[in-house]
Structure 1
Amino acid sequence: MADIINAESQTTLAHHMLIGGRLVPGEGAPVTAINPSSGAASAKFSGASPAQFAQAIAAARTAFDKGDWANLPAAERITILRRFLAAMRARQAELEALIITETGVPKSSFVMDAQVAGPLRQMDAMLTLCAKLPEIEENPLTLEERINPLGGFVQSLRYYAPVGVVAAISAYNFPLHISLWKMLPALATGNSVVLRPSPLTPLSALWLANLAAVAGLPEGVLNILAESGSEGAVLMTTDPAVNMVSFTGSTEVGKHVAAQAAPSMKRLQLELGGKSAQIFLPDSIEAAYRAAITVCLSHAGQGCVLGTRVFVPEAEKPKVLGALQASLAYAKIGDSTDEATTMGPVISAAQVERCERYVRLAVEAGAKIVAGGKRADRPGFYFEPTVLDLPDNKNPAAQDEIFGPVIGVIGYRDIDHAIEMANDSPLGLSGYVHGKNAREALAVARRIRSGTVNVNCFFASPNASSGGQKLSGIGRERGVEGIRAFQELQCLNLGTAV
C-alpha cells in the first residue's frame, strides 16, 4: 500500500475512497457534509457507487482468502495496527477539528474526550488485551474422556479463527469512536474489513482512509467508502462474500440489517437503540439534579446509553423537577467552535423535527414541559435542553428513543414499581442506579433487564464489554467478548494414533 499516498498529502485526497489498497475518487451520487452548527455545507464530493462497494467487498474477500493478513502472527498484526494508531495521534488536533465540524460537539465539552482522545487510548488498550488472548484453549475434558475406546489419548481444543470479511456500518454521533471499535478489533483478529460511515458524518472515516497508507496493511484488507444513500450498505449486508455485519444505529434499521443478512447466515453484531432508565433510590435524591446536565449536555442528548428516563419517589418529584430546571439555567447553546458553548446542535434538521414531534406527543399524552421544549431561534440545528414531567411510563417520550436533549421524570411508589417501569420497555441497552447503600443499589441493578447497568457511576472500558438486550441489539462490543465476536470458534479434537 505504500504507493497509495504520501502522509504529507493527506489533506489533498481527504474525500477519496479506499478500495483494494488504493485511494480513488467516488463514482456515485454526490455527498454533502453539513456542519450542524451552521446548517451550511462543509464539504462536497462524489460518493462511492454501488459498483465500487462491490469492488471493495471483492477486494476484501480476495485479501482474506489469500491469507497474507489472516495468517500473520497476531503480534505482527498488532504491531502494524499500532503504527496506524500512532499516525492518528500525530494528527490528533486535525482530527478533533474535523469531528467538531461534522458532529457539532462543542470543542470545550467533556464529551470531546470520548470523540477522539478516548478512542485512541482505548484502541491501544484493546490491542494489548487482544495480544493476551490465546488463539487456542483446551476444553475441560474429564479424565475418562481423555482416553478413547481404542486406548489412545484425546485432547479437545477451542481454536479461534477470524470470521472472514466484516462489513462495518457506523453511526453519526461518535463517528471515529464507533468506526474504530468495529475496524481495529476485526483487523487485529485477522479479518478483512469494509467500513461505511454514516452519510451524516463521512469525513472522519475518509480521513482514516488516507492515513491507512502509513499502517502498511496488505491490499484489500481495509476498505473505506462513503455514500449519500444506502445502496452500498444494503450490498454490504446481503453479499454472500461478507461473513459478518457489525452495525450501530437505530433498532428499525437494525431489523432490516438482520433480515438482509439472514439468507446467507452472516454473523451479526448489532448495537441498536436505547431508552435507559435512571433509578434514584430514596437515599440519593439530592444527586438527581445532575440528570438533565448529563443527558442534555452530552452531545445534545445524542447518545444511545444516556439515561433519558429518570425515576424518583413520587413525593420527591416536584423537588427533583425544580432542581433539574435550575441546573439547565446556565446551559449555553451555541456554535461548536465557541469555547463558551456547553450544548451544541443535534445532527440535522430532521432530528430537530423529531425532538419537536416527541415533545408534542408527550404533552398530548399528559406530560408537562418543565424546561425547554422547542427549537432554539438561531441558524443551525438546535433544540433547547428539555425536561418533561411525565405522568407515567407509557408516555411516548418514555417509550421511544428521541436521540436529542430531552429527558422525562417519572415518579415511583416503591422500588418494585421503579424496577417494573424500568423494565417496561422494548429496549435494554444500558441503565443506572443511584444509591448510597451499595448493597441495595446492586440488588436493584441485578433486576434491570439491560445489557449494562451502572451503579453510582458511568463506566466504559476496553476491558469491559457492552451490548444490548431485547430490541437493543445482538452481541457485545469491547472487552474479551467484543474481540471474540470477530472470531469463529472451531473445536479441534486430537487423538493419538493406535
Structure 2
Amino acid sequence: MDDLIAERRSYVAGTWVDGDEPLAVENPADESHVTDVSVTPLAEIERAVTEARRCFDAGTWADTPPAERARVLHAFVDHIVAHRAAFVATMVAEAGQPAAFAERAQLGAGVALARGTIDLYLSMQHEDHNPLPVDDLLRGGAALSIRRHEPVGVVTAITPYNGAIIMAFQKLIPALMAGNSVILRPSPLTPISSLLFGAAADAAGLPAGTLSVVVEAGSIGAELLTSHPFVDMVSFTGSTAVGRRILAQAAPTVKRVALELGGKSAQIYLPDAVGRAPAGAAAVVAATAGQACVAATRMLVPQDHKDEVVEAVARAYAAITVGPPSDPTARMGPVINAAARERCERFVATAEEHGGKVAFGGGRPAGLDRGYYFEPTVLDLRDNTNPAAREEIFGPVISIIGYRDLDDAVHIANDSDYGLSGQVFGADVAAATAVARRLRTGAVNVNVGGMFSAYAPSGGYKQSGLGRERGPDGIRAFQEVKHLAISDPR
C-alpha cells in the first residue's frame, strides 16, 4: 500500500514510537487487510500525558504569542495539504469512504475549518475590561476589573471512525490555537490517517509535548486519557453510551468535558414542501451510508401525504448505486464493519416486529459478496414509539412517520432522548422558521441540508452532548475564564 501515509507508528512528545503489538486495519469495502499499525504501549501514553503537562506548565507553547502560534499552525495545515493524495487514499482504504467525500467533506472542509478557526481566534478578544457598577468597584477597592481567557491546560481529543479527520481538525486547531497541549486518540477502526497530524507537528516545529498522536486496539489507553489527573479536559465525539462512561471517568478529577454524542435527528416537511422529501432522504445515506451523528434519519411528513412520500423515497433509494469507492458510479459505500451491518439488520427486524414495514431495502445488496454493505433502507413506521425511531442505528436506514398538524410534528421531533440536529423544509420560510424555533436541538437547518463553518457552532441538547464545537463558543470551550481585580497601591 505505497500510496498510503507512510508512518505507521505513534507520535509521542516529538518522537516516533514503536510498539510491540500490531493493530490490523481492515478495508470495509472488501474486507482486505490494509496494513498494520504499531499500537502505542501504555507507558508511552502515560509519557504523552506527562510531557504534555510539562510542556504546558513550562509555558513552552501556551506563552507563545498568538500570531506566532497562528504561523506555526498554518505551517501545520500546509504540511497536511502537501500530502493530500496519500491522506485521501488512506481515508478511502481504512473507512471505505468515497474518494470525493474524503477529499471534500473531510480534508477540504477540515483545512478550511482550520484556517478559519485560526482567523477567528485572532479576531477575538482574550483579555478585556469587565464592566462593574461604580459602587462595586469602590466597595472592592479595585480600579480595574479584567476578564481574561486562558488555555485549559492538557486536553485529550478522542475522535470517531466516521469523521476522523474533520473531527480532529475541529478539536486540535482551536485547542492548540488557545495554547493548550493535546493528546489525540483516533478510533482503532481508522487510526492511520490521524498519524499525519504527528508528521505535521514535526514539520511545523510544534514544541515537543504540545501534540501527541497515540494508537490503541482497545480502550485502556482512552480510559487513562480520560481519568489521568494531569489531563484537564476531554473532548470526545462518539456514541452516547461511551460519552456516559467518559463523564464517569472524568468525574473524580472534575475535568472539563466536551461531548458530541449520538443523534436521532428529524427532518420535517411542511405540506407545501413534500416534493423535496426524496432529495432529503438521499442526503441521509449518500456518501456516509448513514454513518453521521447529525443524519436526519426520522422523516416527518403530513399524514395525508405519507403514502406518496414513502413511494417517492423508495424510488429514490432504488436509484442509489451501492458499491466500493473504486466504482465511480457508487453513491453509497459500506458501513464500517460486520457489527455495524448486523446492527442495521437487527433494527430492521425489530422495526417489523413492532408494526413497521420495509418499503425498500432491508438487507445486503446483491452482487456484493465481500465488504460490509447494507441496502439503503426505507421504513414506514406507524408512530414514533417504534425502536427504529427511538435509537440511533448509524447506518443507511431512514424512518418515515406521519404527523397530523405542525404541533404534532414538533411533538414527534422533540419526543427523543437526543437533540443534535434537525431540518425543516417549507415554501413558507416564516412558517418553517417558526417550527425550527420550537425544536429542542442544537442546530436546525431551514430549507438547507446543513452549514459547516469555523464561525458557526455545533453541539447537542439532551443526551446528544455537552458544550459546543466550532465558532466562538468552540474556542472558548478550550479556555478558562480568569477575573483580575487590579488596584494601584499608591
Same fold (TM over 0.5): yes
Give the 3-state SS of the residue equivalent to 2:474 in structure 1.
helix
| Gapped regions of structure 1 (runs ≥ 5) | 1-8
Matching residue of 2:15? 22
Aligned: 1:327 with 2:316? yes
Aligned match of 2:411 in 401, 410, 420?
Answer: 420
Tell whether the 8 Å contact from 2:273 to 2:426 is kept in structure 1 after alignment.
yes
Cα distance in 2 for residues equivalent to 1:257 and 1:329: 40
Would you say the 8 A contact 2:5–2:196 is kept in 1? no
Equivalent positions of 1:373-384 (< 5 A) are 373-377=362-366, 378=368, 379-384=370-375
* SS of alignment partner, residue 348 of structure 2: helix
- The one-letter amino acid of 2:345's match is E
Contact 2:4–2:87 (CA under 8 A) maintained in structure 1? no
Residue in 1 aligned with 2:109? 118
Task: Select the residue among 344, 359, 379 that pairs with 1:388.
Answer: 379
Number of aligned pairs? 486
449, 452, 459: which is aligned to 2:451? 459
Distance apart, 1:11 and its partner CA: 7.0
1:64 match: secondary structure: helix
1:36-75 → structure 2 map (5 Å cutoff): 36-75=28-67
Alpha-carbon contact 1:108-1:340 (below 8 Å) kept = no
Q: Distance in 1 between matches of 2:107 and 2:194?
A: 12
Match of 1:167 among 153, 156, 162: 156
Which residue does 1:180 correspond to in 2? Answer: 169
The answer to whether the Cα contact below 8 Å between 1:432 and 1:454 also exists between their aligned partners in 2 is: yes
- 1:45 maps to amino acid: V
Contact 1:107 1:339 in 2 (8 A): no
Letter in 2 for 1:465: P
Map 1:270-289; keep pairs closer than 5 Å: 270-289=259-278
The Cα offsets for residues 271-308 of structure 1, whole Å up to 9 and x where unpaired, read as 00000011101111111111221001141000000110
Structure 2 letter corresponding to 1:15: R
Between 289-298 and 310-319, the greater mean CA deviation after superposition: 289-298
Question: Where does residue 436 of structure 2 map in the other structure?
Answer: 445
* 2:282 alignment counterpart: 293
Q: In the alignment, what sits opposite 1:366? A: 355
Aligned positions of 1:201-212 closer than 5 A: 201-212=190-201
In the alignment, the residues of structure 2 paired with residue 94 and residue 137 of structure 1 have an alpha-carbon distance, to the nearest angstrom, of: 44
Letter of the 2:56 partner, please give it: F
Return the alpha-carbon distance in structure 2 between the equivalents of residues 185 and 381 of structure 1.
35
Structure 2 residue ranges without an equivalent (≥5): none
In the TM superposition, what whole-angstrom CA distance separates every residue of 1:335-386 from its partner, at most 9, and x where no partner exists?
1122221110011110000000000010100100011101224210000000
Identity %: 45
Q: Deviations over 1:408-435 (max 9, x none)?
A: 0000001111100100000000011111
The residue that corresponds to 2:470 in the other structure is 478
- TM-score normalised according to structure 1 size: 0.95
CA contact (8 A) 1:107 1:338 kept: no
Which among 289, 293, 299 is matched to residue 304 of structure 1?
A: 293
Tell me the CA shift for residue 13 of structure 1.
5.2
Q: Distance in 1 between matches of 2:42 and 2:203?
A: 27
**Could you tell me how far apart the structure 2 residues matched to 1:494 and 1:422 are?**
50
C-alpha distance in 2 between matches for 1:71 and 1:401: 43
The answer to whether the Cα contact below 8 Å between 2:264 and 2:298 also exists between their aligned partners in 1 is: yes
1:402 to 386, 393, 411: 393
Q: Which amino acid aligns with 1:417?
A: D
Q: Where does residue 97 of structure 2 map in the other structure?
A: 105
2:37–2:192: 8 Å Cα contact kept in structure 1?
A: no
1:186 counterpart SS class: helix
Q: SS at the partner of 1:300?
A: coil
- Contact 1:434 / 1:455 at 8 angstroms: preserved in 2? yes
Change (3 A) 1:10 1:492: farther
Secondary structure class of the residue paired with 2:35: strand
Distance 2:100 2:418 in 1: 32
Task: Give 1:473's aligned amino acid.
Answer: G
CA shift in 2, pair 1:90/1:12, >3 Å: closer
* Normalised TM-score (structure 2): 0.97
| Structure 2 CA distance for partners of 1:322 and 1:227, relative to 1, 3 Å | same
Structure 2 match to 1:340: 329
Measured in 1, the distance between the counterparts of 2:376 and 2:94 equals 21
**Equivalence for 1:249:** 238
Query: How many angstroms apart in 2 are the aligned matches of 1:87 and 1:136?
Result: 32
